Structure 1
Amino acid sequence: MARGEADGVSDILAAVTPGGGKSLLPVLAAAHLINAGRIERVVWVVPRDSLRLQAEEAFADPLWRASLGHSLSVRSSENAPDPSRGLAGYVTTYQAVAAAPMLHLKEVSRNRTLLVVDEVHHLPVPSSSLDRNDAEGEEASAWSRAMLPLLQCASLRLLLSGTLERADGRRILGLPYYPAATTHTPEIDLDAPGWAVIGYSRAQALAERSVLPVTFGALDGEASWLEGGRAAGQARVGPHRLGGAVRNTTRPALFTALRTGFARDLLQEAFGATRRLRARRRAERGFGPTEFARGLGKLLVVAPDQASARHYLAMLQSWMPAAQAERDVRLATSSERDAHEALAAFRLLPEPAVLVTVAMAYEGLDAPDIAVVAALTHIRSRPWLEQMIARATRVDPHAGSYTDQQALVFHPDDPLFARFRAELENEQGSAARARKTQRISALTPERVVWSDEEPRAITPLESNAIGLRYALLRPITVARAERARASNALNPAIGCPDSERAPSLSERLLRQRLSATVAAQAAEDEANLCIPRSGNRPHRYNAVLKRVLGKARAAMTLAELEAALAWLERHRLSDHLHLLDGDARYAWSARHRSGGWLSKRPSP
């Protein structure tokens, strides 16, 4: 764009995995486009007041200044006149724009402006039928109505998001969508005129070591509660296991666990892991127990509500000497006067080492020191959970080499969180295919629509933890390499020459390689935004391969299997998805391909 080679582009959409470094993009764009005379000012709008300082820091970062050769600065502004004050631009919030829309519209229209909309998924397309019944939706729609004139007036627009979807299913303001019936899930038109799309998935970020792998500590437990109105009398329910909860017990069991003994047990596990990590890193560096230093690792505690957050704070402080508790543990909630100071200290200073919050710090918080997260929250929407675990996946430059770092997330072992983990692992390519749907039972997750609202008429009684298990969510390349090493160790014949291997074993190995190659192509195409997210993409790609070759793998000879593998190494299955047209079993794929998702794969 700076060289004039992309004059038709006026909108840039950056779908970057949380923690993938999207805050560099506004600096990169401003450094090149202001120098080229394409724009004159930058207006960066963020969803939370706590993120304004981080945006200022992004422009002031000395390493980025040296790398990009720029000397630009922006200032954090509210609604005072002349928000830029002679600098290259300013940073404000959605709330500030909604409070004084004309002030910001004049600033955007006065100069050729690059408008940066951070976490654009916070802005829904206004819908009056939803707004009237939902206070949160009404506030978000007010932000959207105030932001719309700025989007229309800006010379260039840079829209950033780590989660290009909303929990309520509504469309996101400013994004191009395919026309579809209101009952269908909205789909973004990645080939819309005037748009450039940047996709950076978690799988790509892990492969490039831009984010850390995650180890989940899943804590199971039992919970009991009273249910029913006081007039009719309350009945005791439980104990029910969190990990075995079904349709009617998942929400109340989780609600109870987060407010009783189970929460204390999970918090103790996270607190103990943080202490052990900090002690180990102190010993490795030769620091004494009272020396302060960056890179030792910190704990972020995400609570379900403010009352629970204060209870967790008191619990944590009771496990330390008074002086240390006052220094090391802070609370950041919307009702605390010093919440922003606590957030800033947690981000920028060696101490405090523990921060308790509800929602202020879950999204956009750039604190690479965070190594452990205690996920004591009832929210189970996927975008929220992705943002939460991403607080611990940033690479800490003060904590040593990449291989010595790892994010650790402790969470209740309920079916909804387990499903989220399975989806995340599927999309990284660590799992070849989704599990088959089973009937609802005490051993399988519920399949009804989950609501993050708290259950009514519930009185928590007691809960306790009964077991902890760890699971490492690994990048696809590491997972494949480890599976290959394990397979070789269990079967020495794998390392034999082809002539010395039994034909049945050779066929089985070739079929395994075919399956892995098909799954890899499906995962790569989705990561590169060539196909929409879906749990059964390897199944569709396998169907395409069968149509191309005219025979199922189970019926192929050794020579045919070798030929099939050679064909896959030279071709992409996404170029042959038209072979599924007319088959009712794959009507969904054909419909989306015709809409533009599958037919326009990026050039190699």
Structure 2
Amino acid sequence: MRSLRSHQSELLAVVRAIAAGEAGELRDILAAVTPGGGKSLLPVLAAKTLIEAGLCERVCWVVPRDSLRLQAEEAFVDPAWRTALGHALSVRAADNSPGDPCRGLEGYVTTYQGIAAAPDLHLAAFRRHRYLLVVDEVHHLPALNEADAAGGRDHAADVAAAWSAPIEPLLSLAGVRLLLSGTLERADGRRILWLPYRRSAGGRQEVDLAAPGWAVVGYSRARALAERAVLPVSFGALDGEAAWLGPEPEGGGERPRLGPHRLRAPAPHEATRPALFTALRTGFAEALLRRAFLATRSLRAERRRALGAGPGEVPRGLGKLLVVAPDQTQARRYLELLRGWVPPGQASSAALAVSDEPGAQETLAAFRLTTEPSILVTVAMAYEGLDAPEVAVVAALTHIRSRPWLEQMVARATRVDPNAGPYDAQRALVFHPDDPLFARFRWRMEREQGTRAKPDRRPPRQPSLGLPDWLEEELAEARERQGIIPLESNALTLRLSTLQPGPDLAAGLAAAREPEEQGDLLTPSRAERQLRHQLGDLVAGQAVEDAAEGVGGAIPRGAGLYHAYNAVLKRVLGGKSRSEMSVAELEAAMAWLGRNRLRDHLQLLEGDHRFGWAARQRREWRPPTGRPAAPARSPDLRRRSS
């Protein structure tokens, strides 16, 4: 049986107190959980307790990316947690179709963009029922007064404010609010929507963790390591040098050649970013990618031997490689390099997931839930929230040095893989350029997990950085901002180091963590899709059979019996389209269609000029010789198959 981690137990205690009326006016919960620490169970715990107590009727879980909706559904239908917690709640991935977004279930999952696209739909749902509102990665949403003050100065700020504005009324209407985040700061320094703030002694604004009416549940990387909830990280820092052409002189003339400049330096300087920009687009990137590829291949071979896998077998737990590229152009170039290195016939083991690539969401799902692909190249789609425990190696070929971005990226590899053997045999391996900006991020990680023994140590001084927004999927415009032309780069030395827990965590590491089960779970949205496809197949089957018997023998050009039958079924279902139906309604439609023939109900198309031919066919059609016509039956969806 699974056991709860410390932050999950703390949250459960808070919501139980709220449900029992022992928490006064407390209705806001902030869960600050280190990336990879297991936030996805918190909404399940809160929803089960609050809905059972009658304090909330439904749950709405808002996520920043469409790819995270399915993972949210899976958290509720995970069979092991259903057994451990004794719950039967289900939520569905809503897509702004008209009607009830829950479709008869206990809640729904949507995105920031989904709420912004149809704010009235979600407002209506919150006015009909008392909701537990869960806002995932809330740090992406700026406080409205500050975003408004930007006055269109920053396109990214305008986009974020467009999300905050329709979500704020839902926060006001919600019965209880659960706000989740892996970081309590924004890269642009603005306040986060809804969170309480105070002025520190130094005059800086900071989240007020002791604000009245709020409960704060924290889970640091140090605690996560102590409970064996995340893996230690080994970094492969690759040094190199790069040369480029600088901007054109103001008076005209040839661009100056600059470099070669080393990536590694004691502190950032004017050449750091141009050198990194060049390195990620020339020979250095290929060298770093090659090292990450070989490390992954070696790991998979080692685990294959340990698991006793035979030739041609691809078991779970072998380990996967995630490549984070600087832009979509480079992502496609990296993919071609990787496919050139894999054995012949295995090119499909490397895949691409970027916003402009068709089927990107399906590729992400396959990377998470199946053994292939084993290599995924992306820019931003998979950096945050991707729950793929098999990722063991990351090639960090991104030029972004925002702390929240890098924490999320590293966290893709720090999840414990239950199929990869004992905890002590696993580790996360991250290959990255050895530049001083990344070194500062590493210093912070070491300090926060207890490996820095001297609290007075400081990282190298660093100037204020102009960071791109996390949502920028296409980052190639950096070339215009830099005003440089990359020429060449090469890799030099590789430094390997492991961030292990410090002495203060040694006692906690004695505790074992039970591995989590995985599987391709049948979520409500998957069930809906399957049932819709099955209904379509049944309608098509009847249309083909009846056309062969002459029902559709005189169909006018441009029309079709299949479309007419779909129209009949929609009328049988009371005018509700299949896309608007709940799982229960789809199952009832399947049962009805299994007992009835659509040709017996063509009278429902009478008066519709689009299907006048179908009504005429109904009057003129006779069953084949020797076969009596089936008596007309009135549509009745109340009976369902057992």
Name the TM-score class by shorter chain: 0.7 to 0.9
Query: Which residue is 1:461 aligned to?
Result: 487
Q: Give, as a single letter, the amino acid of the residue that structure 2 aligns with 1:99.
A: A
Query: Which residue is 1:473 aligned to?
Result: 499
8 Å Cα contact 1:362/1:391 also seen in 2: yes
Summarize the alignment of residues 524-535 of structure 1 with structure 2, pairs less than 5 Å apart. none
CA distance in structure 2 between the aligned counterparts of 1:322 and 1:186, rounded to whole angstroms: 56
1:436 Cα deviation (Å)? 5.6
The answer to whether 1:400 aligns with 2:400 is: no
CA distance in structure 1 between the aligned counterparts of 2:420 and 2:121, rounded to whole angstroms: 44
Query: Which residue is 1:136 aligned to?
Result: 156
Query: Which residue is 1:301 aligned to?
Result: 323
Query: Which residue is 2:358 aligned to?
Result: 337
> What is the DSSP-based 3-state SS (H/G/I as helix, E as strand, rest coil) of the residue aligned with 1:83?
coil
Query: Which residue is 2:137 aligned to?
Result: 119
Aligned with residue 273 of structure 1, among 272, 295, 309: 295
Q: In the superposition, relative to structure 1, how do residues 446 and 460 fare at CA in structure 2: closer, same or farther (>3 Å)?
A: farther
1:149 Cα deviation (Å)? 0.4
8 Å Cα contact 2:414/2:428 also seen in 1: yes
Aligned with residue 164 of structure 1, among 148, 164, 184: 184
CA distance in structure 1 between the aligned counterparts of 2:103 and 2:408, rounded to whole angstroms: 33
Query: Which residue is 1:381 aligned to?
Result: 402
Query: Which residue is 1:33 aligned to?
Result: 50
CA distance in structure 2 between the aligned counterparts of 1:452 and 1:34, rounded to whole angstroms: 42
Summarize the alignment of residues 174-323 of structure 1 with structure 2, pairs less than 5 Å apart. 174-178=194-198, 184-229=203-248, 231-244=252-265, 246-323=268-345
Q: Give, as a single letter, the amino acid of the residue that structure 2 aligns with 1:317.
A: R
- CA RMSD of the aligned region, Å? 1.8
Q: In the superposition, relative to structure 1, how do residues 421 and 289 fare at CA in structure 2: closer, same or farther (>3 Å)?
A: farther
1:7 Cα deviation (Å)? 3.8
Query: % of aligned pairs identical?
Result: 64
1:38 Cα deviation (Å)? 1.4
8 Å Cα contact 1:298/1:369 also seen in 2: yes
Summarize the alignment of residues 150-161 of structure 1 with structure 2, pairs less than 5 Å apart. 150-161=170-181
Unaligned ranges ≥5, structure 1: 438-443, 482-604
> What is the DSSP-based 3-state SS (H/G/I as helix, E as strand, rest coil) of the residue aligned with 1:472?
strand
1:5 Cα deviation (Å)? 2.2
The answer to whether 1:95 aligns with 2:119 is: no
Task: Note the alpha carbon deviations across 1:211-254, whole angstroms, 9 max, x for none.
Answer: 00000000000101110227432111111110027411100000
1:434 Cα deviation (Å)? 5.2
Q: In the superposition, relative to structure 1, how do residues 268 and 434 fare at CA in structure 2: closer, same or farther (>3 Å)?
A: farther
1:400 Cα deviation (Å)? 1.0
Query: Which residue is 1:490 aligned to?
Result: none
Summarize the alignment of residues 46-85 of structure 1 with structure 2, pairs less than 5 Å apart. 46-81=63-98, 82-85=100-103
Larger Rg: 2
User: Mean Cα displacement is larger for which, 185-194 or 312-321?
Assistant: 185-194
CA distance in structure 1 between the aligned counterparts of 2:162 and 2:173, rounded to whole angstroms: 18
CA distance in structure 1 between the aligned counterparts of 2:362 and 2:502, rounded to whole angstroms: 39
Q: In the superposition, relative to structure 1, how do residues 256 and 74 fare at CA in structure 2: closer, same or farther (>3 Å)?
A: same
Q: In the superposition, relative to structure 1, how do residues 370 and 217 fare at CA in structure 2: closer, same or farther (>3 Å)?
A: same
Q: In the superposition, relative to structure 1, how do residues 435 and 301 fare at CA in structure 2: closer, same or farther (>3 Å)?
A: farther
8 Å Cα contact 2:272/2:435 also seen in 1: yes
CA distance in structure 1 between the aligned counterparts of 2:505 and 2:228, rounded to whole angstroms: 15
Q: Give, as a single letter, the amino acid of the residue that structure 1 aligns with 2:225.
A: L
Q: Give, as a single letter, the amino acid of the residue that structure 1 aligns with 2:235.
A: F
8 Å Cα contact 2:226/2:506 also seen in 1: no
Query: Which residue is 1:579 aligned to?
Result: none
CA distance in structure 1 between the aligned counterparts of 2:53 and 2:111, rounded to whole angstroms: 28
> What is the DSSP-based 3-state SS (H/G/I as helix, E as strand, rest coil) of the residue aligned with 2:253?
coil
Q: In the superposition, relative to structure 1, how do residues 413 and 67 fare at CA in structure 2: closer, same or farther (>3 Å)?
A: same
> What is the DSSP-based 3-state SS (H/G/I as helix, E as strand, rest coil) of the residue aligned with 2:61?
strand
TM-score calculated relative to the size of structure 1 = 0.76
> What is the DSSP-based 3-state SS (H/G/I as helix, E as strand, rest coil) of the residue aligned with 1:373?
strand
> What is the DSSP-based 3-state SS (H/G/I as helix, E as strand, rest coil) of the residue aligned with 1:323?
coil
Q: In the superposition, relative to structure 1, how do residues 189 and 445 fare at CA in structure 2: closer, same or farther (>3 Å)?
A: closer
Task: Note the alpha carbon deviations across 1:246-295, whole angstroms, 9 max, x for none.
Answer: 41110000000000000000000100000000000111111134211111
8 Å Cα contact 1:220/1:413 also seen in 2: yes
8 Å Cα contact 1:430/1:480 also seen in 2: no
User: Mean Cα displacement is larger for which, 385-394 or 287-296?
Assistant: 287-296
CA distance in structure 1 between the aligned counterparts of 2:48 and 2:22, rounded to whole angstroms: 17
Task: Note the alpha carbon deviations across 1:490-527, whole angstroms, 9 max, x for none.
Answer: xxxxxxxxxxxxxxxxxxxxxxxxxxxxxxxxxxxxxx
CA distance in structure 1 between the aligned counterparts of 2:87 and 2:20, rounded to whole angstroms: 17
Q: Give, as a single letter, the amino acid of the residue that structure 1 aligns with 2:223.
A: Q
> What is the DSSP-based 3-state SS (H/G/I as helix, E as strand, rest coil) of the residue aligned with 1:430?
coil
Query: Which residue is 2:14 aligned to?
Result: none
1:128 Cα deviation (Å)? 2.7
> What is the DSSP-based 3-state SS (H/G/I as helix, E as strand, rest coil) of the residue aligned with 1:278?
helix
> What is the DSSP-based 3-state SS (H/G/I as helix, E as strand, rest coil) of the residue aligned with 2:310?
coil
8 Å Cα contact 2:187/2:467 also seen in 1: no
> What is the DSSP-based 3-state SS (H/G/I as helix, E as strand, rest coil) of the residue aligned with 2:19?
coil
Q: In the superposition, relative to structure 1, how do residues 287 and 478 fare at CA in structure 2: closer, same or farther (>3 Å)?
A: farther
Q: In the superposition, relative to structure 1, how do residues 479 and 414 fare at CA in structure 2: closer, same or farther (>3 Å)?
A: farther
Query: Which residue is 2:560 aligned to?
Result: none
Q: Give, as a single letter, the amino acid of the residue that structure 2 aligns with 1:447.
A: Q
Task: Note the alpha carbon deviations across 1:404-425, whole angstroms, 9 max, x for none.
Answer: 1100000000001001101111
Q: Give, as a single letter, the amino acid of the residue that structure 2 aligns with 1:239.
A: P
CA distance in structure 2 between the aligned counterparts of 1:242 and 1:73, rounded to whole angstroms: 50
Q: Give, as a single letter, the amino acid of the residue that structure 2 aligns with 1:178.
A: R
> What is the DSSP-based 3-state SS (H/G/I as helix, E as strand, rest coil) of the residue aligned with 2:87?
coil
Query: Which residue is 1:422 aligned to?
Result: 443
8 Å Cα contact 2:226/2:505 also seen in 1: no
CA distance in structure 2 between the aligned counterparts of 1:452 and 1:157, rounded to whole angstroms: 30
Aligned with residue 447 of structure 1, among 455, 462, 476: 462
Task: Note the alpha carbon deviations across 1:109-134, whole angstroms, 9 max, x for none.
Answer: 21111000000001001323425121
1:328 Cα deviation (Å)? 0.5
8 Å Cα contact 1:333/1:358 also seen in 2: yes
Q: Give, as a single letter, the amino acid of the residue that structure 2 aligns with 1:96.
A: G
8 Å Cα contact 1:109/1:154 also seen in 2: no
Query: Which residue is 1:350 aligned to?
Result: 371
Aligned with residue 31 of structure 2, among 14, 18, 21: 14
> What is the DSSP-based 3-state SS (H/G/I as helix, E as strand, rest coil) of the residue aligned with 2:205?
coil
Unaligned ranges ≥5, structure 2: 1-17, 469-477, 508-642
CA distance in structure 1 between the aligned counterparts of 2:139 and 2:173, rounded to whole angstroms: 20
Aligned with residue 391 of structure 1, among 412, 421, 425: 412
TM-score calculated relative to the size of structure 2 = 0.72
8 Å Cα contact 1:15/1:199 also seen in 2: yes
The answer to whether 1:433 aligns with 2:433 is: no
8 Å Cα contact 1:374/1:411 also seen in 2: yes
8 Å Cα contact 1:415/1:446 also seen in 2: no
> What is the DSSP-based 3-state SS (H/G/I as helix, E as strand, rest coil) of the residue aligned with 1:178?
strand
